[in-house]
Amino acid sequence: MPSRVVVVAVVLFAASALRAADPAPWWDAEVESALTGAKDNRKELEQALRAVPPEQRKGMAFLIANMPDADRAALKAEFLLTNVDLAYKARNETRWGKDVPEELFLNDVLPYANVDEKRDAWRKEFYELCMPMVKDCKTPTEAVQALNAELFKKLKLGYSTQRRAPNQSPKESIEQGKASCTGLSIVLSDACRSVGIPARLVGTPLWVDKRGNHTWVEIWDRGWHFTGACEPDPAGLDRGWFVGAAAQAKKDEPQHAIYAASFKKSSQHFPLVWAPRNHGVPGENVTDHYARKAAPDAKAETAKSESALKELRAALEAKPAALADLANKPFAKIPLTKADAATARQLLWDAHAATIKTDRAAEIKDRVIKEDKLEMPFSYKTFGAKPKDGRSLWISMHGGGNAPKQVNDGQWENQKKLYTVEEGIYLAPRAPTNTWNLWHEAHIDRMFARLIEDLIVLEDVNPNRVYVLGYSAGGDGVYQLAPRMADHWAGAAMMAGHPNGVPLLSLRNVPFALQVGGNDSAYNRNKVGKEYGEQLDKLQKDDPKGYEHFVKIHKGKPHWMGLEDKVALPWMAKFTRNPVPEKVVWKQTGAPHDRSYWLAVPKSEAKGDSLVVATRAGQTVEIATAEKVSKLIVRFDDRTADLDKPVEVKQGGKTLFAGIAPRTVGTLVKTLAGRGDPGLVFDAEVEVELPEKK
């Protein structure tokens, strides 16, 4: 097999020969300007541009357009081609590569250098060394932890003040076995980039207490996270000896601010303490990610929290007409300590449960949920012993639909005894109407939510083990309700229904069983069922941690599958809802909702066909997609973040919010009221403005 050098030489020769036949280069004016500035080295850079494969052209153009003048005058085509080729190779081979936004790949994976270090051809050696270290890692965070723990031992490299220079290249540091914090950070950053993880140097010219400077590394895993190079913390990222000092940084004092290095040109520079007159390394002031706001007196804050809790107790003892009314009281806006927030949460839940027992017990006893003139009767039977964490609940919807009342009544009677479960409450409701869409009219969402809220209190239902299923028209309802009420369900099972065009995006965290008879050709149920199964296959392929599903087209079976479909129930029973998943996909369909898991919108802005995709990792929430949404509410509690530290909400690399999200009675009340789900009560929230996409 020919060597890389020979292959590159052949490609360069071919590119040179084709130059006359390609008078209209594909690169833009910015790149052409960079080539002009390269003067004597233009030929090398142009050869690199012409030889790079089409799928890598954007990366090569980015490097040439943004590289420092010294690099533009010196770097060879082979150096650039090898660097670009291996960067794309790592992107394609790693589990996380496809999830890295292109902007971050270009600026924080593709570059061959971090600051002003010597330009080594490090990427091939690091690719071969580091790929085996991360082969079993599932996330960038796991990979960085593995690299930080193993790489420096393998290289026999450590910190030393006896190193020759602070800004050594990887090769220089490895040869000496010694490096400064900057040299170590360059090695770790390059190692991360070699396996497709966005990484950048971060540092401060001088700590506030004037103890000196420091450099560390930030890596991107659904948000920027930091770690000390050659200083792995077994507890994870965003930890280190310098956290306290970084918290004292001052954004508006350049000497005491914190900066992240960038390859892309910017209006700000990354300060080089070893070369203070060199302003040629682009940078970004990221002090807000680390610095604490001016902290008020801790005792005073604790006293305010205790006072708010005292006022909450008094307000609850006064028996308010509705818990929701407390959200606007002055004490509800006072920040709470973690301990006081936990106490407030329990007080509010106890008050809520007492209200349900007083005001709603009759509707469970009478087996009917009412809304204006509509009534939804229901029947239920309990199976098995009650688990310590509460019973499971199985809501089973009957068929029928656009038929006379007596037909739908008969379908309800059949549904009552159609399935059994090993443990839990098997509940069969009777649809309030006899319309074709009897299980997905807007009132169904509200009635089911009320029913679940009642049963959590009155029958000790575990809110993380609520399942929905249905046959025929009931299956139509499952197709619709499973995604639009996604945060209610631990699982959903559709039997012999039709989706009526509903998208499945919101099922990301809802295990979904889909079954239909192979001969059930009415309304093309069999054909459409197969197509929707294929949609679920693709969704899971693109997002392997989500879209758990079970699909079976029962060969030879008509609309009635002879109870072969009952296999869905034990399959669903294996799953439990996670009320705070790391990723939420929220596509509004049918009746719009104002909340889903830890996301929400103002009630007045809940609208159909909107889409939000958001992920959380550590202290950071990244909004990947926001369509037809102008304001988004992100909710937190101590399951999702350390609320004693700043949190960050970002979109497309832009920070929309950074700071402390205070725990308050107001947020606890707001998230409890109207939902009555203890798993979806949150302590804190922040609202961000989003550029609306139309």
Domain regions of the chain by residue span: 1-93, 99-104+116-292, 297-348+579-694, 367-573
Residues 517 and 496: beta-carbon distance below 8 Å = yes
Q: Provide the pLDDT for residue 438.
A: 97
- Neighbour count for residue 248 (Cβ, 10 Å): 14
Give alpha helix (H) positions in 135-258: 140-155, 170-176, 181-194, 243-246
Question: DSSP label at 228?
Answer: B
For 529, the token pair is 């069922």
pLDDT at 10 over 50: no
Looking at residue 234, its pLDDT comes to 79
- In order of 53, 93, 111, 254, the CA distances from 89 in angstroms are 12, 6, 14, 38
Asked if the model's pLDDT at residue 2 lies above 60, the reply is no
Q: Which helix (H) or strand (E) holds 413?
A: helix 405-416
Q: Are 648 and 621 in contact (CB under 8 A)?
A: yes
Phi, psi for residue 574 in degrees, rounded to 5? -70, -15
199 neighbors 210 (Cβ within 8 angstroms): no
Rg (alpha carbons) of the chain, rounded to whole number: 30
Residue 24, pLDDT score: 55
Helix (H, G, I), strand (E, B) or coil at 267: coil
Max distance between CA atoms of the chain, in angstroms, equals: 90
Determine the pLDDT at residue 17.
42
pLDDT number for residue 188: 97
pLDDT at 3 > cutoff 80: no
Q: Which pLDDT band, with edges at 50, 70 and 90, does 211 fall under?
A: confident
Beta bridge partners of 635: 685
Reported as a pLDDT band with limits 50, 70 and 90, residue 298 is: low
Q: Is the dihedral of CA 376, 381, 386, 391 positive or negative?
A: negative
Predicted confidence band at 23 (pLDDT cuts at 50, 70, 90)? very low
Tell whether the model's pLDDT for residue 198 goes beyond 60. Answer: yes
Average pLDDT score over residue span 357-385: 97
The per-residue pLDDT for 83 is 96
Residue 301 phi, psi dihedral angles, 5° rounding: -65, -40
Averaged pLDDT, 537-547: 97
- 111-135 pLDDT, tens per residue? 999 999 999 999 999 999 999 999 9
Residue type, 80: L
* Residue 77, burial from CB neighbour count under 10 angstroms (0-12, 13-18, 19+): buried
DSSP strand pairing (631-636 vs 647-651): unpaired
Instruction: Average the pLDDT over 589-598 and give the result.
Output: 95
Of 136-140, 253-257, 451-455, 670-674, the range with the highest mean pLDDT is: 451-455
Residue 470 one-letter amino acid: G
Q: In whole numbers, what is the pLDDT of the chain averaged over residues? A: 92
Q: Which one is predicted more confidently, 511 or 212?
A: 511
Q: Which CATH superfamily is domain 367-573 in?
A: Alpha/Beta hydrolase fold, catalytic domain (3.40.50.1820)
- pLDDT (0 to 100) of residue 692: 53
pLDDT grade for 451, boundaries at 50, 70 and 90? very high
pLDDT by residue (tens digit) across 262-284? Answer: 999 999 999 999 999 999 999 99
Beta-bridge mates of residue 282: 269
Instruction: Give the three-state DSSP class for 183.
Output: helix
The pLDDT value recorded for residue 27 is: 86
Report the pLDDT value the prediction gives residue 20, as an integer from 0 to 100. Answer: 39
Q: Does the pLDDT at position 393 exceed 70? A: yes
pLDDT at 8: 44
Write the class of the CATH domain 99-104+116-292: alpha beta
Query: pLDDT by residue (tens digit) across 48-106?
Result: 999 999 999 999 999 999 999 999 999 999 999 999 999 999 999 999 998 999 999 99
* CA pair distance 185, 546, nearest whole angstrom: 34
Mean pLDDT value of segment 540-552: 97
Q: What is the mean pLDDT of residues 594-611?
A: 94
Secondary element (H or E) of residue 601: none
The predicted pLDDT at position 297 comes to 61
Please state the rounded mean pLDDT for residues 300-326. 93
**Is the pLDDT score of 459 beyond 90?**
yes
